[in-house]
Chains A and B, each alone.
Chain A
């Protein structure tokens, strides 16, 4: 069964450093998403992406964040200058239909900022 994959599974970085989290969505999906979950808190939407453009973004997704689909398979989330409060699980998701009814999530990348 096709699945969303994410690398790395765990990333440790120092405050102020740039990180890139990588995702490979399901191959025939066209809509891509990033969510995050701070330990013990709710899953929060960050951004959605379609046709090489951001469709929607939350207040969390400020100028420090960017997304890119650099090739036909990868979807990346970059955090330009990490802060302690960026420590969280970051989940990538993808969906095939334009309504995003069924979003398939990856296993997540645990980002720890020290």
Chain B
């Protein structure tokens, strides 16, 4: 699976959009981009995933660049409850065991 690079930490003001970047320059054609988050000591929570098109759901939007070498997770109106560690994971869609490999993630602090 391709390696990802994320900034270790970011701050965001409450009510503003949080834009979390992820670099995955070695991604291959059959690899998906996944975003999960972990709120303090809780189990990771699925947010969104995509292959090459931009995706949106009730939680967030995922913007993938045309060359697929980077992506951005957008939380449109961050709240204090969005304070968490956000993980960008790249993985093959036909990974036999479906394992997720978590890196260090980005610690997002939403401030009032």
> Which positions in A face B, CB cutoff 8 Å?
4, 31, 33, 35, 42-45, 48, 55-58, 89, 91, 93, 95, 98-108
Contact = CB atoms under 8 A, between A and B. Distances in A.
Nearest to A90: B43
Contacts of B93: 99, 101
Given A4-B43, A108-B41, 13 more contacts: A33-B99, A35-B44, A43-B87, A89-B41, A91-B43, A98-B98, A99-B93, A99-B98, A100-B95, A100-B98, A103-B44, A103-B46, A105-B46
27 contacts: A4-B43, A35-B44, A35-B100, A42-B102, A42-B103, A43-B38, A43-B44, A43-B100, A43-B102, A44-B102, A45-B99, A48-B97, A55-B96, A56-B95, A56-B96, A57-B97, A91-B43, A91-B44, A93-B43, A99-B94, A100-B100, A101-B32, A101-B34, A102-B46, A103-B46, A105-B44, A106-B43
A43 B41 CA distance: 11
